[in-house]
């Protein structure tokens, strides 16, 4: 598919959206032009055993108040920001990027596009989702909806309690991720974020974190460690990213839900 075809489509879509906004007497575009019957939880529960990139516990728990003594209970938590199902804000890979509390709320509610590479990931744990996969998705499903979050589905979420979520048999990082050709294409489209059901936006065998180093500094965000993408259609769901709001954060554990 040619890039100028995409551009014409986007121009047309922009005009249509502007018309709709005028009709409704508001400048905001619809964020959810559907009714929803079901909430699908795209978040893993997590604790100190949840796999992390550096292999150290991503969270630790300590009681700070206890029922028997205080009449209520609560924990003091030590959390490394990029733990569990979590968001990468631009600030994670750029000194002057947006922090997690600075992301526009409108960008946290997005049409969810799912691109499935499960079969390929069975053959090659480090397979990358490339531009050709996006073009194939568009050929089959129509254009990427405006302001979409594009997620890769690799079947990896089912491995989250096993060493294979992170490593191959030799103990080397091994998991699918986005290739830079894909995120370069997505940057020319009206997209807000990418998501993966693995430990990282880049594949396990990435030497240069090319996607982290280009997508995030460009001001878009990523979600790592998505769960339950298998329960959703490849188009038509809306994702809601409950990103944390600690000031100046580079990201952090997020509650991610889908409405379908």
By CB under 8 A, name the binding residues for a copy of itself.
24, 26, 28-41, 43-47, 59, 61, 64, 67, 71-82, 84-85, 91-95, 101, 105-106, 108-109, 209, 212, 240-257, 259
Smaller CB distance to a copy of itself: residue 78 or 187?
78
Smaller CB distance to a copy of itself: residue 131 or 259?
259
Smaller CB distance to a copy of itself: residue 11 or 39?
39
Contact 256, 70 (CB under 8 A): no
How many angstroms from the chain centroid is the CA of residue 38? 20
Smaller CB distance to a copy of itself: residue 189 or 241?
241
Shortest Å, Cβ 23 to a copy of itself = 11
Half-sphere exposure of 153 (CA within 13 A, CB side): 17
Shortest Å, Cβ 247 to a copy of itself = 4
Q: How many beta carbons lie within 10 A of that of residue 242, not counting itself?
A: 14
Shortest Å, Cβ 83 to a copy of itself = 9
What does the DSSP assignment read for 167-178?
Answer: B-TTS-B---EE
Rounding to the nearest 10 degrees, give the CA dihedral for residues 58, 62, 67, 68: 150
Smaller CB distance to a copy of itself: residue 135 or 217?
217
Shortest Å, Cβ 102 to a copy of itself = 8
Q: Three-state DSSP class for 243?
A: coil
Shortest Å, Cβ 176 to a copy of itself = 20
Q: Three-state DSSP class for 128?
A: strand
Contact 186, 145 (CB under 8 A): no
């Amino acid at each position: 598919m040619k890039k100028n075809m995409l551009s014409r489509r986007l121009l047309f879509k922009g005009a249509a959206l502007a018309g709709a906004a005028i009709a409704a007497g508001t400048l905001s575009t619809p964020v959810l032009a559907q009714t929803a019957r079901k909430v699908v939880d795209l978040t893993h529960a997590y604790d100190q055993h949840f796999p992390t990139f550096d292999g150290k516990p991503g969270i630790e728990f300590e009681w700070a108040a206890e029922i028997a003594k205080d009449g209520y209970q609560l924990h003091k938590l030590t959390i490394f920001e990029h733990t569990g199902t979590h968001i990468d804000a631009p600030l994670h890979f750029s000194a002057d990027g947006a922090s997690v509390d600075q992301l526009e709320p409108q960008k946290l509610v997005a049409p969810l596009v799912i691109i499935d590479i499960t079969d390929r990931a069975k053959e090659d744990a480090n397979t990358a989702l490339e531009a050709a996969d996006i073009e194939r998705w568009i050929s089959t499903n129509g254009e990427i909806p405006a302001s979409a979050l594009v997620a890769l589905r690799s079947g990896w979420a089912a491995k989250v309690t096993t060493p294979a979520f992170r490593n191959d048999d030799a103990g080397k990082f091994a998991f699918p991720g986005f290739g830079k050709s894909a995120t370069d294409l997505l940057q020319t489209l009206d997209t807000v974020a990418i998501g993966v059901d693995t430990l990282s936006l880049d594949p396990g065998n990435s030497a240069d974190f090319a996607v982290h180093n280009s997508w995030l500094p460009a001001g878009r965000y990523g979600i790592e460690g998505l769960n339950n993408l298998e329960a959703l259609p490849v188009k038509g769901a809306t994702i809601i990213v409950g990103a944390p709001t600690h000031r100046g954060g580079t990201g952090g554990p997020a509650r991610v839900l889908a409405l379908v």
